[in-house]
Structure 1
Amino acid sequence: MTIAKNTICLWYDKDAEEAARFYAKTFPDSAVHAVHRAPGDYPSGKVGDVLTVQFTVAGIPCLGLNGGPAFKHNEAFSFQIATDDQEETDRYWNAIVGNGGQESACGWCKDKWGVSWQITPRVLTEALAAGGGEAKRAFQVMMDMRKIDVAAIVAARRG
């Protein structure tokens, strides 16, 4: 497999392959393409350890790098997954949070490796794009949520 011209590189302590396999089974249009082992010892690993993993998350090419504990993920980077309904929102949210992740606010959560995810129903994005009172009401109701409640956003849009 060739590496895409632009690839997101995600730094993991040592679990890039486990993370990539979890993403591949959780999100459509996702797969693990290649696992590369270190040709020699490196600061946080030994020859033969998994060094990089080429994978795709919802169509986005990624490279997982097992670089050791020096750097941690934070909310400055997140994957935003657009969902079509509450069922899809619940499925992704529960997969991430239920696999050692944690809830945050306004549709954000973190997986067990510390990568941030925004599980964002399209109805919320559309409400905010509408502007005016509709956007304001949807925004206000969203501010009190963890996982997004689609029915509450729809009701807020209507006023």
Structure 2
Amino acid sequence: MSKISPCLWFDGQAEAAAHYYAAVFGGSVDHVSYYPDENLSPSPMAGGSVLLVEFTLFGQSYQALNGGPQFTFDEAISLSVACADQVELDRYFDRLTGDGGKAGPCGWVTDKYGLSWQLVTRGILANYHSDDRAAIARMMAAMMTMQKLDTAAMQAAFDGETS
């Protein structure tokens, strides 16, 4: 387990979500803990139901907690995936949106559990390290017209190429 692990709050879907994320991203579900019997401890979920699921994606540990309906995800927190190339980005985008998720602006996807993801290629991320602010502005202007990011179009905008 990592020293710091994001803990994602669910209302009864923690185990299903962890297995889903492990399947989408080639990770693993590492441990499932259960709530004690109802008569031993008050809890937001039924005794014997899943409490906490520990899972790993790309070497990073995560926790999925069944905490009840009090809290839901919003776009204030997202998980950013640095994809190797457009093919990998397309695969994740298609899987996350095709399984009940929805595309948002600028490469964001909200999955079927309500968690937001940012899918971007490493090449585009590297462009943000440039000192050429005009190139970054062109690339960002192109990005603002997209849902799923088109790496080639963003790179062309960064490079100042017009179509």
Q: Could you state the TM-score of these two structures normalised by the residue count of structure 2?
A: 0.90
CA contact (8 A) 2:2 2:60 kept: no
Distance apart, 1:121 and its partner CA: 1.2
1:9 paired residue number: 7
How big is each residue's C-alpha offset from its partner over 1:123-157, in whole Å with a ceiling of 9 and x where there is no partner? 22122221322211111100111110011012112
1:60 paired residue number: 60
Q: Which runs of 4+ in 1 moved over 2 A?
A: 40-44
CA contact (8 A) 2:35 2:43 kept: no
Instruction: Work out the CA distance in 2 between the residues paired with 1:9 and 1:97.
Output: 23
CA contact (8 A) 1:54 1:62 kept: yes
Instruction: Work out the CA distance in 1 between the residues paired with 2:92 and 2:147.
Output: 13
SS at match of 2:17: helix
SS at match of 2:118: strand
1:35 paired residue number: 32
CA contact (8 A) 1:123 1:153 kept: no
Higher CA-based Rg: 2
CA contact (8 A) 1:129 1:135 kept: no
Paired-residue identity, % = 40
Q: How many residues align?
A: 156
SS at match of 1:148: coil
CA contact (8 A) 1:83 1:120 kept: yes
- Please say which of residues 19-28 and 40-49 is displaced more in the overlay: 40-49
Instruction: Work out the CA distance in 1 between the residues paired with 2:58 and 2:82.
Output: 10
In the alignment, structure 1 residue 139 sits paired with structure 2 residue 140: yes
How big is each residue's C-alpha offset from its partner over 1:85-140, in whole Å with a ceiling of 9 and x where there is no partner? 11101001111111111111111111111111000112221222213222111111
* Unpaired segments ≥5 residues, structure 1: none
CA contact (8 A) 1:128 1:139 kept: no
- Aligned Cα root-mean-square deviation (Å): 1.3
Q: Which amino acid aligns with 1:18?
A: A
1:115 paired residue number: 115
Q: Could you state the TM-score of these two structures normalised by the residue count of structure 1?
A: 0.92
SS at match of 1:154: helix
* Unpaired segments ≥5 residues, structure 2: none
